[in-house]
Each structure stands twice: as structure tokens, then as C-alpha cells.
Amino acid sequence: MGTLTICDHPLIQHKLTYIRDKDTKTKDFRELVDEIATMMAYEITRDLPLETISVTTPIVEAPSNVISGRMLGVIPILRAGLGMVEGMLKLIPAAKVGHIGLFRNPETLQPVEYYVNLPADATERLLIVVDPMLATGGSANAAIASLKSRGCTQIKLMCLIAAPEGVAAVQQAHPDVDIYLASLDSHLNDHGYIVPGLGDAGDRMFGTK
């Protein structure tokens, strides 16, 4: 079973409160999601392997650590995942970015895939799938399955808010995938929205509806 990490740093929790607030405007919502993504990127890269090289300081030549060539990819699930990309790239600027377009059919809640575009060397990279919301888990599961069907094997999932139902669905379908969240919320309502959640992440990010 993959690990489940709740990124409970006070700064993340503080900013999360303001993106939940229905009165937070689009501009502030975007900025806060960007900032939280940067802080979560710090957590999700915590176990990157290091190697020791030699560095010459003004004083002496000494062994020192650098990240040992692990190549990363950030894979936003469109639309709302786009809002997390820039924040992540602030910490991992050499990462490549692939896109998976999915939307939930509002009646069936089933994900519909409409676009996939990945880095040519995606199969060699550690891929971090990003989406603010993990509700039923249908979209994340479909995105991860889409990556696996193209030969990708090293995959992590990073979401801001999840319902227990979504976490369980991903853990069951993809037990090899580690999940990183800012909050594990209470439950899903009858319309498949996370409670308390933040509403529709895509609409709040882009000012639609």
C-alpha cells in the first residue's frame, strides 16, 4: 500500500482555510493555491535520493550532497490541476510538464478523458499527478491508469483536499502510488462534492460559473 501523507504545516493549513472561504475571490484563490502547491512540493520531494560530490568552498574542498539526477514530471489534471503547476516549478524548475484532460460527467460522476500530452521521456521520470480535489477518486484513478497504460511506473499523487472515499478508491486501484494531501475532509455529499471542501475547484480557479 502506498503511503498517505497529510501536509499539516501551519502555513499550509492557514492558507487552506482561505481557499475554503466562499468569499475568497478568484485572484486570491489562485495565489493561495500556487503558494500551497510550492509548500507541498517541498514535502513530496523530501525522499529524493542524494549523492555526494566534492565542492570547493573558499576554505577547503569538501564532500557535499546534490540530488542524484532523479528526473521529475508534473502532470496536472485539467483544468484545476493547472493552478498547482507554477507553484511546484518554483521548487523543481527542471521538471517537465505533461497534461491530462479529464472532466467528471455531472450525472454519472464518471471521468471522461479528452486530452493527453506527456513528455517524450515520461516513462523515465518520477511523475507527480496534481489536482486540487480528490473526491470519488474517479479522475485521479483514470489519470494514473492513463499514465500506466503509456508505460509510466513511478507515480505520486498530490491533492489539496480529499474525501476518504477518494483516498480509498486510489489506494485500492493503485496501491503503488503515494498520496499527499493538505487535508483529509469528512465525506462526499449526494452530488459528489467534498464536505466541507471548497466547492468546484475549476470554477473557483478560473472564475467560471
- Could you give the residue numbers annotated as active site? 104, 108, 200, 203
Residue with cell 471521468: 111
Binding of residue 98 to ligand PRP (CB under 6 A): no
Closer Cβ to ligand PRP, 45 or 141, answer by number = 141
Residues 76 and 85: beta-carbon distance below 8 Å: yes
Q: Which of 26, 205, 12, 47 is nearest to 128 (CA)?
A: 47
Q: How far is the CB of 115 from ligand PRP (least distance, A)?
A: 11
> Does residue number 139 form part of the binding site for ligand PRP (CB under 6 A)?
yes
Provide the residue type at 8 as one letter. Answer: D
Q: Does 201 bind ligand PRP (CB under 6 A)?
A: yes
Examine residue 135 and tell whether it contacts ligand PRP (CB under 6 A).
yes
Among 141, 191, 202, which Cα is nearest to 169's?
141
Task: Flag whether 135 is marked binding.
Answer: yes
Site membership for ligand URA, residue 97 (CB under 6 A)? no
N- to C-terminal Cα distance for the chain?
A: 38
Does 42 contact ligand PRP by CB under 6 A? no
Name the minimum Å distance from CB 131 to ligand URA: 9
Residue 188's beta-bridge partner residues?
194
84: Cβ–Cβ under 8 A, 6 or more apart, which residues?
33, 34, 37, 76, 130, 131, 132, 158, 160
- Report the partner that residue 83 touches, choosing among ligand PRP, ligand URA, none (CB closer than 5 to 8 A by kind): none
Q: In the bound complex, what is the minimum distance in angstroms from residue 194's beta carbon to ligand URA?
A: 4
The pattern of x and - marking residues 121 through 160 that bind ligand URA according to CB under 6 A reads: ------------x-x-------------------------
- For residues 207 and 116, give the distance between their C-alpha atoms in angstroms, rounded to a whole number: 24
CA distances to 22, 25, 49, 129, 147 from 77, rounded to whole Å, are 23, 22, 26, 7, 12
Per the annotation, where are the binding residues for uracil?
A: 194, 199-201
Residues that bind ligand PRP (CB under 6 A): 77-80, 103-104, 109, 111, 131-140, 166, 192, 200-202
Per the annotation, where are the binding residues for 5-phospho-alpha-D-ribose 1-diphosphate?
A: 79, 104, 131-139, 200
